[in-house]
Structure 1
Amino acid sequence: MEDEDGGTKVSQIPGRRFPVEILYTKAPEADYLDAAIVAALQIHVREPPGDILVFLTGQEEIETAEELLRHRTRGLGTKIAELIICPIYANLPTELQAKIFEPTPAGARKVVLATNIAETSLTIDGIRYVIDPGFCKIKSYNPRTGMESLLVSPISKASALQRAGRSGRTGPGKCFRLYTAFNYQNDLEDNTVPEIQRTNLANVVLTLKSLGIHDLIHFDFMDPPPSEALITAIELLYSLGALNKIGGLTTQGRRMAEFPVDPMLSKMIVASNKYKCSEEIITIAAMLSIGNSIFYRPKDKQVHADNARMNFHTGNVGDHIALLKVYNSWKETNFSTQWCYENYIQVRSMKRARDIRDQLEGLLERVEIEPTSNPNDLEGIKKAITSGFFPHSARLQKSGAYKTVKNPQSVHIHPTSGLAQVLPRWVVYHELVLTTKEYMRQPGQRKCLVGEDVQQWTKNECSIDEHMEWHPSKPTCCTSHYRNCELTSRAGAFAPIAVNWGRKIQLVKCQMGDDVNFG
C-alpha cells in the first residue's frame, strides 16, 4: 500500500478473530491416529460445549477413526452427551458432506473428521477445538519415473497456523497439537513445497511455448522448478509431436495448446479427428480430467459398489471405454441423479465432467476438428487413445507384473481396474501412482497405430492402411517373427514400427528425423 509520501508500507489483516490457546504434547506420539481419537473423547468428556475438528490424512484414516469413535462412544454411558461424527473427504457424496454444516442439536457435540481441505477451503460454524496430528498427504511427482505418489508427510508451520486458526473463527478456541513444541520449532518447514516443484510440467511448458516464451531455463519463475522436470516435460512434448527438433511449437502443438487439459489428453483429442471419433474422445478426456473420484465405495456396501462398477467393464474393454460407457449411460437417463445413486457414482463428479466436456466440445471448432461420433468403432477409439498415451505403455511380464516401456520399471494394474483379472499383453495407462505398490490407473488395451497389412512398399515409401504413411531417410530393416505389433513412437533413439507383411512381421527401425506421419 502507498503512504502519503509516495512510499510503501506493509499492512497485515489478521485472519483469526478470537484468541486460540495452543497446547502441545510432552512427547511425540507413536500412533497419531489413536492419539487423535483419545484426544477427541477427552475433549468431549471434559471440555465445555463446542464442536471438534480433527485433521487426518485421507479417506482410509477417516473411515477408521469414524469406526473407532462409534465403538468407543458406546461405552461412555448415558450421562455423556451425544457425539455426532461427521466425516468429510473428496470422494464422499455431496449430501453426506453437507452434514458438517448442519447446526449441532442442543445437548450434543459434533466432531468433524477432515482432510486438509478444512484448512482453508471451508469454515464450519461452532468449531471450538482443533486436533492437529501434524501430518497430511502431499502429491509428489518423480520426473525420472513419471510416477506420482501421495505421501504422508509432516505439515509446514504455515499449515499448522491455518489449522489452529480454524478453532478461532467464531469464538475463543483451543488447538491440541499432537507433537511437541520442539518438533514445531525445529522439524517443520516454514512453508509447504510449491506445487510447481512437485508436479508434471508438460502442461506448463506447452502453455508457455504457446505464449511465445521459449527460454524456459532462464524464465523468471516465482518458484523455479527442477531443471530435470523441465527437461522431462520437453521430451514428452517432443514425443507427442507438439515440439520440433529445436524446441519450437509445431502446428499440432498449437492445436494441442488450445485445450486446457494434460498434453497427452489434448494429443488424444487432436488424433480423434483422424479416426472420426472426436465425440467419444472428448467424453473420455473429460472423465479422465476429474481424477479418481467418479465411483463411490461406501464401507458397508463395498460388494454392491464393486458389482456396479464392473457392470461397465463388460467385455474387458478397458477403463477408458468403461468411462465412456458410464457417461453415455448417465446421458441416456437424462443426467439422472437417481441413476448415479443406484450405480454408486458421484453426481458432483459427473456434473463436473459434463461441464469439462462441453468446454472441450466448444474448442473443437477453434482447432478445425469436426465433431464426429462413431461409438461402435472401438478400434478407432483405442487407436486415438494410444496416439496420446503411447509414452505410457507397459508390457506384461511372466511374473504377472508389467514393465513400462519408458524408464523401465515394474508396475501393476490397479485392483479397481476392470483389467486387473484380464492382464492384456500390452496396455496404455493414464497415470502411475505409488501407494502400497506401483500401480497403473485407468489402463486400457494398447492398439497398434498401424494396420494389419502393407498397402504399398517401395525403397522410399511405406503406405500402411489409411492412417499412416512413412518416408524413411535411412531405413535399417530386419525380419523377425513377432506376434504383436510394436508401438509407433517418436520417443527415444528410434521409433519402432512393426507391420504384418505376409506370414512374417517386418520390424523397421526408423532413425530419428525421418518423416513419420501417424496418429
Structure 2
Amino acid sequence: MGRDSWCIDRRLLLDVIREVVRRMSDGGAGDVGCLSLEGILDTTSSLSIPREDLESANLTTTTTPPNTHSPSNRFADVTTTLATTKRHRATNPIEMAVPVVLTRPFKVPSLVSPMQMPWLSTATDTTWADKERERELLEKKMAARTKVNAKFLQRQKDNDAWEANRMVASSVAQTRDTYNLNGLDDDNEETRVHLLVHDLKPPFLDGKTVFTKQLEPISAVRDPQSDMAVFARKGSRVVKEKRQQKERQKQAQEATNISGTALGNVMGVKEEDTDSAAPAAAGEEETGKNQSSKFAQHMKKQDAGQSDFSRTKSLREQREYLPAFAVREELLRVVRDNQVTIVVGQTGSGKTTQLTQFLYEDGYAKNGMIGCTQPRRVAAMSVAKRVSEEMEVPLGGLVGYAIRFEDCTSKDTQIKYMTDGVLLRESLTNPDLDQYSCIIMDEAHERALNTDVLMGLIKKVLTRRRDLKLIVTSATMNSDRFARFYGGAPEFFIPGRTFPVDIQYSRSPCEDYVDSAVRQVLAIHVSQPTGDILVFMTGQEDIEVTCELIAERLSQLNDPPKLSILPIYSQMPADLQAKIFDRAAPGVRKVIVATNIAETSLTVDGIMYVVDCGFSKLKVYNPRMGMDTLQITPVSQANASQRAGRAGRTGPGKAFHLYTERAFRDEFYIATIPEIQRTNLANTVLLLKSLGVRDLLDFDFMDPPPQDTITTSLFDLWSLGALTNLGDLTPLGKLMTSFPMDPSLAKLVLTSSTDYSCGEEILTIVAMLSVPSVFYRPKERLDEADAAREKFFVHDSDHLTLLTVYQQWSANGRRDQWCVKHFLHPKALRRAEEIRNQISDIMKSHNLSVVSCGYDLDIVRKCICSGFYHQAAKRKGLGEYINLRTSVSMNLHPTSALYNSGDPPDYVVYHELILTSKEYMSVATSVDAHWLADLGGVFYSVKEKGYSAGMGRREVEFSRKEELEREMEGDRRVQREREEVERREGERVKGGVKEVVVGKVVKKVGGGGRGGSAVVRPVIGRRR
C-alpha cells in the first residue's frame, strides 16, 4: 500500500488498541495513560468499527493515573491524525465511503514491529508527522483569522459549496435528498439563494423607455469644460484635507487610547468623566422635555436692529421706506382689475412681506385667507415672523405658517405663509382651493418642482373660480414667461434695491472656493467697517469646514476683533437655525455661513457684506442609480444677483463674487434649470394621478419634463403597487397620497397596518427617518459618541436601531439629560415624536389600526422590505454591495450597524444613497431573498443553488412569473381597446378642428400655447 494511500486495517488497529489498554492497566504506559476508554470508544466510533468488535476485544479495563515520571521511550510517536483519501468498500452500507479520522492523540507501543505494520516505518513517521504538525499550526492560524476575517470565511464557504456541487455533479457523492444520515429535513439545511432579476413592463408603458442612459435629463452645467464646472467636479482641496485629517486623528486616537483595555486597567487609565455630551444641551434643565421643537418657539421677539437704519427707525417707518410701499395704490389697482398679476421686484423691494399686508388692508381677507407660498421652509417661517411683528400680532394667530409636519395656524389665521408643497396637498382635499381668496406664489423664478405643478393646477382652478386672485412674484426680469403662460397677464414692476451694492469680482479663477471664502471673510473682518457677513456655501460639510477654518485662522491673528460664527443649513435643528436672527453682543461682528436657503425671502438684519462662492447643490436625477442626487454646479446669473442683493437690505453693502466677471457672463445660465426637468417625479406623478390627470404628457406644464423622466416615475409607482397595469390609481395608491412623504414610506406605513400588524414600530421608524440625525458626534469626543451609538445597534437593521433609540428614549422618560449622556439630540427626538403623532392621526382618519408586533422584529424587517424592495442590493464583498436592478456598486456606510457585524448579510434594502467619495447606503436592513421574491415579484424570482429540494420552490416562482405575464397580456388587450375607443371619440367630437391624433397625445398644429411637448431648454445669454 502506498505511502499516500492510508487505509487502516481494523483488525490490526484493534490489536494496537488492545496492547495500549493492557499497558495502561500495568501503569507503565506513560503518556498513554491520558487516553481513557471513552476516548478510545470515541475514536473507534469515528473509524466506523462496530461496537461488537470492541466488546470482543475485551476493552473493559479501567485506566489508572499515568506515571508522569516513568520514561516513555518504549513508545514510538505516531501521528495524531490519520485520514483516508480513498474509499474503503465494505459490505455494510454504514461503513461505506466514510473517512477515517483519529480525533485524539495516542501512542503506539514500540514492540509492534514494522513488519506487522509496514506503514509505521520510522523514516516515514517522522517526515509525515512533521508535515502534519505544520498543517495543524497552519489550520490554527487560519482559524484565528476567520474569527476576524469575515471575507475569508465567506470565500472558504463558497469554495466548500463549489466542491460539494462538483462532487454531486460527477456522481462521486450523493445528494442529501436520496440519502440523509441524520434524517434532517432539507428545509433546515443551509442553502445558497440567488435572485433572478426580471425586466417586466406594464401594458401602459409598452414601447416606452423606463431606464435612460443619458447623464441627466438636462445638463445642469452650461459648459462642462469651463473653469467653474471643473472646479465643481474637483471640489474643495481644504475640505478634502480636513476630512483626511479627521480620519487620521481618529485612527491615531484609537491606536493610542488604552483606556478600557487590559493595559489601561493595569496602569489605571480611565475614560474622562464629563457630565455633558453636547455643549448646546449641557445647560438644559429637566424641564426641557416639555419644550417644543417647532421653529416658532425658538424665534425671539424683535429687538433693536443691528444697522443704523433699523436702530433709528420703527417698524412702521421701515415699512414706509420700502420701494413696494411707494407704489402700494398702483399695485392694488392692477390686482383689482385683473385675475392674474405678475409682480417683478428685485431683492429688498419688500414684495414678500408687504403684498400680503396690502391685500389684508384692502379687505381681501373677508372672503377667505390670503395665502403666500415659499419654496423653502425657513423662508416661510421667518417671513411669517417678520409680518406678525410688523402687524403687532402673535405668530400663529392672525398671521401663521404651515410647513410639512408643522402647522402654526389657527381658526383666526387670515394671512398664511406656507411651502408650495403644503398648498399642493391641500388641493387634494379641496381642488378649487375655496378657503383662499387670493394666492401669492412668491419666488416663482426659482422654478421649484411644486411651484411648476401648482401653476398648472391653479391655471385650471382660475377657469372655475373667477373670484380667485393670483399674484406671481419674481425677482428676475424674464417674467414674460409667466405672463405668456397665463394668457398675457399684466406685469407690474417694483423699483430696485433699497440701498446700493458694490459688486466686486475676482481677478482670476479661484480653484478652491472654501479657502478663498475664508480668506475673504478674514480680510473683511479686519479691514472693513462694521457690518455682518453672509457667506454662501454648497452644503453642510463645506459650511462646517468653513466655520472651523475661520475660527482657526482668526485665532492666529494678533488681538483680532471679536467674531461670532453661525452656520445654517436645512438639516440643522430649529433652535440652532433661529440663532442667526438673534442680535450679536455689542462690539461683535456676526458671520453667517449658509446654503442657498439664505438666498431668497430671508431677512437677516445687519448684513452688509456677501461672499458668494459661485456654487450650489442642485437636485439632479441620476438614471444610473435610479434616484435623485445632489450635484455641485455653478449658480445661474439670477442666483448670483439674488445673493448680491442680500447685502443691500438695510444699508449700503458690498458683494464679493469668488469668480471672474467673464465666468459670470459666459459660464452661468441666465436662469436656473427648472427642477421639474432634472429630478425624479414619482411623488408629483402620484399627486397628479390622484387629482384626476389621466395623461401626464397632456398636463399644462410651463416647461414640460422629459418624457423618459415621467415614464421612469410611472414605472416606480407601478412597481410599488400604486398603479394598475393600465396606469390607473390602485386603492393603495389613493391612500398613499394622503401621507406627506415619499411613496415608499407611505406604502410602508399602510402595509404595516393592513398586512403586518406592526404599525407602532413602523410609525416610529418613519418619523425617525423624517428628522435630521438624532446621533450627536462632537468633534472632541468622537470615540465616546461612536461607542454610545453602538450600544443601540441592532446588527441586522439600521431601521431597527432607530426604533431602539426611540423606545429607549421613551422608556427613560424622554429626559434631556438621558439624551446628553447617550450623545443624542433631544430636540430631534421630540420632533420625531410630533411627526409620529401627526402620521398616527392620518392613519386613524382612514380607520387604519396602529398595533404593535411585540418582540417579533422579523415582521418589521419584512414590512420594511415591502416598501423598499426596489432598492435592494446583493453582497459582492466585505461591506460592498451591488444594486440588483441597476448593477451600481455601493457600500455600507461606516456608521451602519451592519458595517461591523462580522458576517454581512447577503441581501439588504436601503433608504437612500449618500454620494461622497463612494456611494454609501444610508439606513440599511438585511432581508431574506425569499421576501424580495414574494414582495417584489415584478422584479425578482428565486433561483436556488444546491439541493434538489429547492426545485419545488423554483417551480412556484416561475409559475408566478408566468401568471403575471398572462395577466399583463390581458390588460394589454383592454388597453388597446380603450385607446381605440378614445381615438374614435376624439375624431368624432373634434372632427372640425385641425388636429393630429397620435395615440393618446394630442398635438395642435399651429396656434399659440406651449406648442406640443418639447422640452424648453434654459435661456443662454449672448456672448459679448
1:225-275 Cα distance to aligned partner (Å, 9 max, x none): 222221111111111221111111122222222222211112222221221
Q: 1:498 to 1:244 in 2, by over 3 A?
A: farther
**Which residues of 2 match residues 86-485 of structure 1 at below 5 A?**
86-120=566-600, 122-272=602-752, 273-290=754-771, 292-313=772-793, 315-398=794-877, 400-422=879-901, 423-447=904-928
Instruction: Determine helix, strand or coil for the equivalent of 2:611.
Output: strand
Aligned amino acid, residue 396 of structure 1: R
Q: 1:309 to 1:197 in 2, by over 3 A?
A: farther
- Provide the TM-score with structure 1 as the length reference: 0.84
Contact 1:143 1:200 in 2 (8 A): no
Contact 2:534 2:591 in 1 (8 A): yes
Equivalents in 2 of 1:214, 1:4: separation in Å?
34
Aligned amino acid, residue 331 of structure 1: S
Equivalents in 1 of 2:898, 2:520: separation in Å?
43
Stretches of structure 2 that go unaligned for 5 or more consecutive residues are 1-330, 339-488, 969-1024
Q: Which residue of 1 aligns with 2:545?
A: 64
Instruction: Determine helix, strand or coil for the equivalent of 1:152.
Output: strand
Instruction: Determine helix, strand or coil for the equivalent of 1:11.
Output: strand
Equivalents in 1 of 2:542, 2:595: separation in Å?
9
Contact 1:154 1:188 in 2 (8 A): yes
How many positions carry a matched residue from both structures? 478
Equivalents in 2 of 1:121, 1:303: separation in Å?
40
Normalized per residue, which structure has more strand? 1
Equivalents in 2 of 1:122, 1:338: separation in Å?
34
**Which residue of 530, 534, 554 corresponds with 1:49?**
530
4+ runs deviating over 6 angstroms: 497-502
**Which residue of 936, 955, 958 corresponds with 1:489?**
936
Identity of aligned residues (%): 44
Instruction: Determine helix, strand or coil for the equivalent of 2:697.
Output: coil
Aligned amino acid, residue 504 of structure 1: G
Equivalents in 1 of 2:834, 2:861: separation in Å?
24
Aligned amino acid, residue 445 of structure 1: S
Equivalents in 2 of 1:430, 1:15: separation in Å?
45
Equivalents in 2 of 1:87, 1:124: separation in Å?
13
Aligned amino acid, residue 372 of structure 1: V
Deviation (angstroms), 1:490: 3.4
Equivalents in 2 of 1:166, 1:406: separation in Å?
45
1:263-320 Cα distance to aligned partner (Å, 9 max, x none): 1112222221221111211221222233x5333333223223222322221x403111
Equivalents in 1 of 2:607, 2:756: separation in Å?
55
Q: Which residue of 2 aligns with 1:479?
A: none
Equivalents in 2 of 1:4, 1:419: separation in Å?
59
Deviation (angstroms), 1:209: 1.4
Deviation (angstroms), 1:444: 0.4
Aligned amino acid, residue 676 of structure 2: I
1:169-192 Cα distance to aligned partner (Å, 9 max, x none): 221111111111121122111222
Equivalents in 2 of 1:323, 1:515: separation in Å?
40
Equivalents in 1 of 2:838, 2:943: separation in Å?
35
Deviation (angstroms), 1:500: 12
Deviation (angstroms), 1:163: 1.2
Instruction: Determine helix, strand or coil for the equivalent of 1:140.
Output: strand
Deviation (angstroms), 1:501: 11
Equivalents in 2 of 1:97, 1:205: separation in Å?
32
Contact 2:539 2:595 in 1 (8 A): yes
Q: Which residue of 1 aligns with 2:267?
A: none
Q: Which residue of 1 aligns with 2:23?
A: none
Aligned amino acid, residue 636 of structure 2: S
1:426-480 Cα distance to aligned partner (Å, 9 max, x none): 1011112322111211100113566xxxxxxxxxxxxxxxxxxxxxxxxxxxxxx
Asked which structure has the greater CA Rg, the reply is 2
Q: 1:71 to 1:370 in 2, by over 3 A?
A: closer
Deviation (angstroms), 1:132: 0.7
Equivalents in 2 of 1:24, 1:389: separation in Å?
47
Instruction: Determine helix, strand or coil for the equivalent of 2:633.
Output: strand
Instruction: Determine helix, strand or coil for the equivalent of 2:751.
Output: helix
Contact 1:52 1:131 in 2 (8 A): yes
